[in-house]
Structure 1
């Protein structure tokens, strides 16, 4: 078992707050000194600076987790990955109870291979299947995570 933590920091600043006109932008601090600006997916003025929104971070974490397992399984199988690029898309919508949530995440990895042993389509499908089953983040979500290579 392992634990993972971060610090979320928001301050009101000069905003009145009670009128609803306050910045949604805040800071997420991670170990190792990494800091990330986070905001709502709402348009300006609610999000005051370029920043990631929580929905994007869930989608990104899912894609990143899948990729890390994919790379590990590719290495174990003796394949060399030169480049892995994904443009994941998460869809917000209402579930069957009318609750708004992520209802789907689609991963679209594009992989460039190196070395003499280039995997075939069946090999790549198996690597994605194994990565999908092993991904902690994907396993924690209620929505389906689809791979669309």
Structure 2
């Protein structure tokens, strides 16, 4: 089977012109709306460190969320295929971005910390192993140039935790 191409069309509309445009750095808001098809708009801005609205999503948060969601989606599908029954999944993901003196910057790492509960009958070793596969398959993780680390905590209904570090 050959490669398939998928396209994602998103519009980003700046909504922060308060009447004088970008006359100065203080004359405009960084607010924008992210839209795709008929989906609800995502209200965005820049990080508050860069004069953004703290009540809106910023691009950095959305990048970390994309990595987390992509990993989760792969992981759940792989578990379903392998007979591992996931009962709950919650991730506390963290991204680190370094800002240079010029104002430019880049992410240096993202760490995903999913807490997963599996059924007592599920294979814990397989549940752990599937994080490696999910990471290798995740479209977003494969597209970034900084390390993405996975630090899962897997528990079964018996309440016993295993949390070996994985990459």
TM-score after normalising by structure 2: 0.78
Is 2:113–2:150's contact at 8 Å kept on the other side of the alignment?
Answer: yes
- Distance, in Å, in 2 between the alignment partners of 1:129 and 1:82 is 19
Which of 24, 35, 45 in structure 1 is aligned with 2:30?
24
- What is the DSSP-based 3-state SS (H/G/I as helix, E as strand, rest coil) of the residue aligned with 2:69? helix
Report the alpha carbon displacement of residue 18 of structure 1 after superposing the two structures with TM: 1.0
Which of 31, 39, 42 in structure 2 is aligned with 1:36?
42
- Distance, in Å, in 1 between the alignment partners of 2:69 and 2:20 is 36
TM-score after normalising by structure 1: 0.87
In structure 2, the partner of 1:136 is 139
Aligned pairs (5 A) from 1:7-18 = 7-11=11-15, 12-18=17-23
1:51 equivalenced with 2:56 (yes/no): yes
Structure scoring higher RCO (CA < 8 A, sep ≥ 6) equals: 1
Is 2:47–2:54's contact at 8 Å kept on the other side of the alignment?
Answer: no
What is the number of equivalent residue pairs in this alignment? 144
Extract unaligned runs of 5+ from structure 1.
Answer: none
Superposed CA RMSD: 2.1
Is 1:94–1:103's contact at 8 Å kept on the other side of the alignment?
Answer: no
In structure 2, the partner of 1:81 is 86
| CA deviation string 1:44-67 (max 9, x = no partner) | 8x3246111001100000000000
In structure 2, the partner of 1:127 is 130
- Distance, in Å, in 2 between the alignment partners of 1:53 and 1:123 is 36
Aligned pairs (5 A) from 1:98-137 = 100-114=105-119, 116-120=120-124, 122-137=125-140
- What is the DSSP-based 3-state SS (H/G/I as helix, E as strand, rest coil) of the residue aligned with 2:68? helix
- What is the DSSP-based 3-state SS (H/G/I as helix, E as strand, rest coil) of the residue aligned with 2:56? coil
Extract unaligned runs of 5+ from structure 2.
Answer: 153-167
- Distance, in Å, in 1 between the alignment partners of 2:53 and 2:60 is 17
